[in-house]
Amino acid sequence: MTTRKEIISTLVLLLFGAGYLAYCTEYPMDTWNNPGPSVFPLFVGGVFVLLAFGRLIQSLWSRKTEEQQENVQPTKRPLRVSRPLILVGSFILYVLLIQWAGFFVSTVAFVFTSSRLMGAEGWARPLALGIGVDLFCYWVFESWLKLSLPKGLLF
């Protein structure tokens, strides 16, 4: 990972820690005799911010060292980031779909889509997989373990 990415990720963590610490003040501290609900979160948040700050300094220091060494070339690795993003998008749609179409109908659709997204060819196998997964879930979780999976308007 490049130092720039390291700095950005640490800054995100630092901001997160600061936000957490700020929100902790909403809760009472009470007294040392009987510490309130904000004491532990404040302690943890404080340590977190200190650590993130330490990491930021480390990253900035290593960036400085990198700049001094002129021959440092960042190694670039081709990553296919768009496909995980599409998968996350279809997963969000899937969870929203569960609420009105029910678990079983939406699962067939999601397994079909995600399987195709991951490189499965044709439609027969992904569809068979979707139906197979549905049947397996129904048999194991609904029938055997008596877990009530979300029902929608259809099933």
Partner 1 sequence: MEHGILSSLLITLQPVNVLACFIGAVIGTLVGVLPGLGPAAAMALVLPLTLKLGPTAGLIMLAGIYYGAMYGGSTTSILVNVPGEPASVVTTLDGYAMARKGRAGAALAIAAIASFVAGTFSVIALQLFAPLLARSALAFGPAEYFALTVLGIVLLSNMSGRSRIKSLLMMMIGLMLSTIGMDPVGAVERFSFGIVSAQGGVSFIAVTTGLFGVAEVLSFMTEKKKEVELAPVKFRELYPSREELKRSAAPMARGSVLGFLIGLLPGPAATIAAFSSYGFERRISKRKREFGEGAIEGVAGPEAANNAAAGGAMVPLLSLGLPFTPTTAVLLGGMLLHGITPGPLLMRDQPDVFWAVIGSFYLGNVMLLILNLPLVGVFARVVRIAPQYLMPTVLILCVIGAYGDNSNLFDVWVMLGAGVAGYLMRRYGYEPAPLVVGLVLGTVMERSLRQTMIISRGEIGGLWDSPLSAIILLTAMVAAIVPGPLRYLRMKLRARAMQITRGR
Q: Is 5 in the site for partner 1 (CB under 8 A)?
A: yes
Using CB under 8 A as the criterion, what x/- string covers residues 34-53 for binding partner 1?
A: xxxx-xxx-xxx-xx--xx-
Report the alpha-carbon distance of residue 97 to residue 103 in Å, rounded: 8
Amino acid at 7: I
Instruction: Give the DSSP letter of residue 35.
Output: B
* Residue pair 50/33 in contact by the 8 Å Cβ criterion: no
Q: Which of 23, 61, 100, 139 binds partner 1 (CB under 8 A)?
A: 23
89 in contact with partner 1 (CB under 8 A) = no
Count, residues in the chain: 155
In degrees, to the nearest 5, what angle opens at C-alpha 17 toward C-alphas 11 and 22? 125
Residues of span 117-146 touching partner 1 by CB under 8 A:
117-120, 125, 129-130, 133, 137, 141, 145-146
Distance set, CA 50 to CA 4, 44, 118 (Å): 20, 10, 41
User: Which residue number, 32 or 70, has a Cβ lying nearer to partner 1?
Assistant: 32
- Is residue 109 near partner 1 by the rule CB under 8 A? no
Give the up-direction half-sphere exposure of residue 21: CA atoms within 13 A in the CB hemisphere: 14
Q: Which residues bind partner 1 (CB under 8 A)?
A: 1, 5-6, 9, 13, 17, 20, 23, 27-28, 31-37, 39-41, 43-45, 47-48, 51-52, 54-55, 58, 79-81, 83-84, 87-88, 91-92, 95, 98-99, 107, 110-111, 114-115, 117-120, 125, 129-130, 133, 137, 141, 145-150
